A and B are shown apart, each in its own frame.
Chain A
Amino acid sequence: MRVLLGNVAIARGIVEAGCHFVASYPGTPSSEIVPGVVSYKKELDLNTYIEWSANEKIAFDNALAASLTGKRSAVAMKQVGLNVASDSLLSSAYTGVVGGMVIISCDDPGPHSSQTEQDSRFFAMFAKIPALDPSSPQEAKDMVKDAFELSEEFEIPVLLRPTIRVSHAKQLVRLDTPKVIPRRANFRKNPERWAATPRSRLLLHKRLNEILKRVEERFEEESRWNFELYSSKKAVLGIISSSVSFAIIRELIDELNLGEYVCLLKIGTPFPLPLKRVERFIRRHRRILIIEEPGPLIELQIGDRRRVSGRMSGHVPLEGELTPEVIYEILASVLRSENLKNLEKTRDEELEELIEGLSLPSRRPTLCAGCPERAAFFAIRKAFPKGIYPSDIGCYTLGLNLKAVDTVIDMGAGITLASGFYHAYAQDGKRIPIIATIGDSTFYHSGPSGLLNAVYNDSRFILVILDNEITAMTGMQPTPGLGVRADQSAGKRVPLEDLVKGCGVGWLRVIDPYDVRNMVEVLKEADKYTRREDGGIAVIIARHPCLINYPESLKGKKVRVKITEECNGCGYCLEFFECPALKMDDEEKRVEIDRGLCVDCGVCVNSCLKGAIIEA
């Protein structure tokens, strides 16, 4: 038994299932799966192929190919990554697979670290593949293994959908011996299936529907992931639940002694739903409550919902995480309306009001002290205070705090929105400075296609690629620019410069954003190029290593700063430079340096209008 993070338990499940091939693109809450597999590979001396792919679709296709050779493969991503991979997902459901293929897509109800609260299980329904929905790290680990078996038996990809509270839960998990499944790559040609044209696709669709029917029958009998608890004869309230919500309800029923009023049906296979079983359960109870997240997938598969309370009936909120507090309130109101039991109020409203009244400082995430991205954003605003700033997804989304980020839509949209903005204004004969920002990893993920499209359509904007030489936000995964692979072995470097030029960009400069004054000048030069008749898109690679990943990079280059008497507390540096190490001393009405946080990068000397921040 070991205490494992949910994602590490999933990694363990992948290894125990004898999986040969793992591909992924990092994203919270899925990022720890690949490092988990890497460490088991080392510990157990396995021959697993592991890669950080450039994006989720690429990861998916790689894993699919491995499966077509007969090997077991897994692909892991966050829920919005599945949007990127959805093209492959829907097609591969038709073609099916050979070796077991498991898709792990981690949902983020809340959302804590994502742009949407989408429910990956709906993708399973959309694509017509089975979905497994674990309620704990232990279950996630065991389900991965079953998912491989199921996938292999029915020759269909299978989705495992942990929510963030499974992926980032930790639990004492039972370890089993990893299976060794010797398989040599052996791709059997079958164009009717692997290269199907529309005619054969109809047949494949028919085959898929038949498979799904058989999977549903299997799930009707399944008892490891679907089972009932507290089956008191007197129970009038039946609760149907899945994922971590099930775990929360189970604990609440125990804690509040509700076992005699309630019967709980746990569903671990929400698609295809074992409908006969669910309907039998519904018939046995006067009232049904469905608690699942983030969407109403189980609920929507039930035809007759007259006695069913859930999201569709307005009993469960349509957005936000189902925390123990939210579930408690839902349960209390249903128990009350059925005259079963009055649960006491456990919220201390007096305390909540008191705390509310303290107006505590809001604790928003910020770029770290010394972050090179802060320097770049400051220079961008300085050069073009009235520009439009489309940006992208990564640490630098936090450029929002410096008012240098206007849009964050999806991976790669910094570039594509910049292009769209340009044309929408140009159509009216207007020119506005547009400065797009994108991180190095995000650029590799989905930058080039948007950039070459913008070049081709003669868009005019400045693109700043914030190259901190790592995928920082998700926990320091290597990028193609480093030439280091997931297991730290050597890969081939793909320099950003070559990619940018390859997209047809005619103006490129590589600078260090720590030199803010120089960056401002280069930005202005870039702007001139975008306005020239024969000009085009100007790209600046702002390169400086992430200080968290490369703390040694400041060695010998530290610049200690101090704040002089000139500081009049105007707050400009706090608003537009926003370094966590700069703070307003409310009594003295001037800015002070928090030496505990300051890393001596010295960049803030550029951020004072009065020149009151100087080298000490």
Chain B
Amino acid sequence: MRLKIIFTGIGGQGIIFSSRLFSELGRKMGLGVMGSETHGMSQRGGSVIAHLKLGEFWSPLIRKGTADFLFSFEESETYRNLSYLRKGGVCFTNLILRRRFNEKVLNNLKKKRITFVAYDASQKASRIGLPMFSNMVLIGYSLGTGLLPFAYHKLRAVLEEMSPAKHKEMNLRSLEAGYREGKRKWKR
């Protein structure tokens, strides 16, 4: 298996942690791991992007137009990074319910057979009383859709292992809440 995944959002949204979660999952599945993280000034509220490649790769960066999956925790970063996706790729984005994603952009994605999954992970996170954990809600939701080649219970186990003690329970609860919702909405 060869997979290219982009994680994006604003500094402080747990982008690096999310990409590390999938790195570790990939490693446990016996895949090669290669990727790139943003550190330094951008972490003060600037755009943050993490590239992750699972399987046999040499370079840490994903070329635009070739990513299989895009996880975006913030709407404007979704727009900015959609160009990373390949034809037939999948975008998971956090999107405030009442906001409409740009029609023309959606048409462009449709032409490229890109699956666009928008979900208000922030709202869900607030509802379960964990507003700071919308990233885990979105990741849980993405697994619920069945579009990713990863088993939920495996990712959950990795999250349990990697979470710092004070966040463990909250991370797991958020992941599960998102997963349930994803599964419910994407029942086939």
Decide: A348 near B108, CB < 8 A? Known: A251-B57, A323-B61: yes
Interface residues on A, range: 35 or more
In whole angstroms, what is the CA distance A248 to B57 when docked? 9
Decide: A355 near B82, CB < 8 A? Known: A170-B33, A172-B27, A365-B46: yes
Q: Does chain B have a CB within 8 A of A366? A: yes
Interface residues of B in 14-58 (CB under 8 A from A): 20, 23-24, 27, 32-47, 57-58
Decide: A355 near B63, CB < 8 A? Known: A3-B24, A113-B41, A365-B42: no
In whole angstroms, what is the CA distance A580 to B63 when docked? 32
B105 / chain A contacts, CB cutoff of 8 Å: 351, 354-355, 358
Q: Does chain B have a CB within 8 A of A168? A: yes
Would A474 and B47 count as touching, CB distance under 8 A? Answer: no
Over the window 352-390 of chain A, the binary record of Cβ atoms lying under 8 Å from chain B Cβ atoms (1 yes, 0 no) is 101100101101111110000000000000000000000
In whole angstroms, what is the CA distance A276 to B188 when docked? 64
Would A325 and B34 count as touching, CB distance under 8 A? Answer: no
Would A328 and B108 count as touching, CB distance under 8 A? Answer: no
Q: Does chain A have a CB within 8 A of B104? A: yes
Q: Does chain A have a CB within 8 A of B182? A: no
- Of A168, A171, A366, A596, which contacts B34 at CB under 8 A? A171
Decide: A324 near B83, CB < 8 A? Known: A247-B58, A348-B112: no
In whole angstroms, what is the CA distance A328 to B80 when docked? 20
Q: How many A-B residue pairs have CB under 8 A?
A: 147
Interface residues of A in 222-281 (CB under 8 A from B): 244, 247-248, 250-252, 254-255
In whole angstroms, what is the CA distance A348 to B58 when docked? 24
Q: Does chain B have a CB within 8 A of A409? A: no
B60 / chain A contacts, CB cutoff of 8 Å: 136, 165, 169-171, 244, 247
Would B59 and A248 count as touching, CB distance under 8 A? Answer: yes
Interface size on B, residues (CB 8 A): 45
A397 / chain B contacts, CB cutoff of 8 Å: 41
Would A168 and B36 count as touching, CB distance under 8 A? Answer: yes
Would A250 and B59 count as touching, CB distance under 8 A? Answer: yes
Would A3 and B42 count as touching, CB distance under 8 A? Answer: no
Q: Does chain A have a CB within 8 A of B146? A: no
Would B61 and A346 count as touching, CB distance under 8 A? Answer: no
Measured CB to CB, the closest approach of chain A to B89, in angstroms, equals 12
Would B44 and A351 count as touching, CB distance under 8 A? Answer: no
A325 / chain B contacts, CB cutoff of 8 Å: 63-64
Measured CB to CB, the closest approach of chain B to A381, in angstroms, equals 20
Q: Does chain B have a CB within 8 A of A414? A: no
A contact residues vs B (CB 8 Å cutoff): 1-3, 5, 28-29, 31-32, 112-113, 135-136, 165, 168-172, 244, 247-248, 250-252, 254-255, 323-325, 328, 346-348, 350-352, 354-355, 358, 360-361, 363-368, 395, 397-398, 473-475, 580, 596
Q: A169-B35, A171-B33, A363-B10 are in contact. List 9 more A-B contacts (CB 8 A).
A: A165-B36, A170-B60, A171-B35, A248-B58, A346-B63, A354-B104, A361-B76, A397-B41, A596-B131
20 residue pairs of the A-B complex, CB under 8 angstroms, read A29-B40, A168-B36, A248-B58, A251-B59, A324-B61, A324-B64, A325-B64, A346-B63, A346-B66, A354-B104, A354-B108, A355-B80, A355-B83, A355-B105, A360-B76, A363-B47, A365-B45, A368-B44, A473-B44, A580-B45
